[in-house]
Amino acid sequence: MVGALGGKVNPEILEQMLKIDLGFKTMDDFDFEGKVVLLRTDMNLPLDPKTNLPSDLTRMKVLAQTTLTELLVRGARVAILTHQGRPGDADFTTTDLHAKILSKMLRTKVIHIPDVYGPKAVEALKKLREGVYRIIMLENVRTDPEEMLKKSPDEHAKSKQIQVLSTLTDIYVNDAFAAAHRANASLTGYPLVMPSCAGRVMEWEVRALTWLLQHSERPRLYILGGAKLDDAVAICEHLGETNKADWIAATGLIGNLYLKVAGYKLGEINEKFLDRKGGIFLYENAKKVYEKYKEKIILPIDIAVETPKGERAEIPLSGLPLEMPIKDIGEKTCELIESYIREARTIVISGPPGVYEEKEFSYGTKRILKAIAYSKAFSVAGGGHTVAAINTFGFTDYISHISTGGGALIEMLMEKELPAIQALRIASKIKIS
């Protein structure tokens, strides 16, 4: 299950996860009957630029199925806070659509309030308290000009949003794991001024990923793909330095960057694309990482390109350079990575190996995900495109843990302290009446 544990989890592992000291309170620590809950979620939906409609509802579905349903069953009245996009971006929109979609999922009316903490929000929260409303969706929290300011949790706690909403609600529940690496006001301010806990998604993300980092069996295989080069280079370096990984398979754009680092000329069209994605700035560091840890790094041994006719052509590395875009790993690379998947006891995949959205170039992603799904290893998958690919190919029930996080997952795997989680841990030590 996304944001929680799937069907492929050994009962002994589950028992170990339940014993992990999270350092923060969970929903088990509170009685929600008759309480007004301020629920901070991450329902930041990927929007199709042509239709402005969501292309994937994974995060919203998992919230509806877990934390939100439990709060309602346990008698809470809920005010939802989420962000959508960033100010100035095309996907920075109102949360009206979110309320409509969530209403259908829950089969319960979710009232959209076009306000975060102004008069309309205050009035709606009073109606929530009185029982007139059961669930409300406040406006995109990033419309608050103070939300994304660089401030400490103490400073955020003094902001207008936190001061107003904390006095009108009883318990703050943070279920926004995918945004936990952000030090925004709504993620770090509330735990300092009101009773607070993690939602079920946040709780199980931390349990599963902590277990992965501290207790998972070797050998460990990390498969890196997608187009976020900075994250991939950073995690490669961390895995090498800490010896957390036995093998690192480089696919997608990071695979292309490491091929270039290893001395292969990719062709002008591919090297220009790499540069546009930040490869020009990351090359030297990637080279240093590759030279230091190349015994762990598995490079592609063949690639798939798009021909001028729009067809797939698989090319060995001896066929480089090419003036055709590289869009997938080839069959021999799939076989190579599969041999490591069979040996691994723990597998982490972040980023699809190819442009899986295009039928001709979905082969590598589908084949690698299938091999992971049918392996006996404890498996973790994360990143928006990875999760969407798993859903597309029907492997959701065969991955041990599917993370809702992208950047948050990467930072957790790099053993960084995530601001939102840190705030919950601080809150657990504060006595708030």
- Give me the count of residues in the chain: 433
Q: Residue 433: what pLDDT?
A: 58
- Could you tell me which CATH number the domain at 21-198+417-425 has? 3.40.50.1260
Range in 51-65, 255-269, 357-371 with the lowest mean pLDDT: 51-65
- Is residue 418 within 8 Å of 181, Cβ to Cβ? yes
pLDDT band at 16 (very low <50, low <70, confident <90, very high): very high
Q: What is the pLDDT of residue 208?
A: 96
Q: pLDDT-derived band of residue 7, with 50, 70 and 90 as boundaries?
A: low
User: What is 216-394's CATH topology?
Assistant: Rossmann fold (3.40.50)
**Separation CA 55–CA 193 (nearest Å):** 37
Beta strands at 302-306 and 312-316: parallel, antiparallel or unpaired: antiparallel
Q: Is pLDDT at 2 greater than 60 in this prediction?
A: no
- pLDDT, tens digit, 9 for 90 and up, residues 279-298: 999 999 999 999 999 999 99
Average pLDDT, the chain: 95
Q: Is the pLDDT of residue 6 over 90?
A: no
What's the pLDDT at 194?
A: 97
Q: Which amino acid is at 221?
A: L
Give residue 1's pLDDT.
44
- Domain boundaries, given as residue ranges, for the chain: 21-198+417-425, 216-394
Q: pLDDT value at position 58?
A: 85
d(CA 227, CA 274): 9
Task: Tokens for 307, please give them.
Answer: 């021909």
- In order of 7, 10, 27, 208, the CA distances from 14 in angstroms are 11, 6, 18, 9
pTM of structure: 0.92
Q: 250: number of CA atoms within 13 Å, CB side?
A: 32
User: What is d(CA 98, CA 117) in angstroms, rounded to the nearest whole number?
Assistant: 18
pLDDT band at 3; cut points 50, 70, 90: low
- Give the model confidence (pLDDT) of 26-42 as tens digits: 999 999 999 999 999 99
DSSP 229-285: HHHHHHHHHHHHHHT--SEEEE-HHHHHHHHHHTT----HHHHHHHHHTTHHHHHHH
Q: How far apart are CA 108 and CA 102, in angstroms?
A: 8
Taking the C-alpha atoms of residue 193 and residue 24, their distance in angstroms, rounded to an integer, is 15
Q: In what order do the strands lie in the sheet with 196-198?
A: 111-112, 135-137, 77-81, 36-40, 171-174, 196-198
Q: Which among 390, 414, 37 is positioned nearest to 199, based on CA atoms?
A: 37
How many angstroms separate the CA atoms of 170 and 195, rounded? 7
Write out pLDDT tens, residues 159-209.
999 999 999 999 999 999 999 999 999 999 999 999 999 999 999 999 999
The tens digit of pLDDT for each residue in 72-124 reads 999 999 999 999 999 999 889 999 999 999 999 999 999 999 999 999 999 99
**Which three-class secondary structure state does DSSP give residue 402?**
strand
Number of other CB atoms surrounding residue 158 within 10 Å? 14
Q: Which two tokens stand for residue 24?
A: 């923060």
The pLDDT value recorded for residue 384 is 82
Domain 21-198+417-425 and domain 216-394, same fold? Reply is yes
Confidence band for 245, pLDDT divided at 50, 70 and 90: very high
Give per-residue pLDDT as tens, 200-244: 999 999 999 999 999 999 999 999 999 999 999 999 999 999 999
Q: Which one, of 387, 25, 378, 430, lies nearest residue 206 by Cα?
A: 25
Q: What is the DSSP string of 77-103?
A: EEEEE---S-TTSTT---SHHHHHHHH
- Are 123 and 164 within 8 A, CB to CB? no
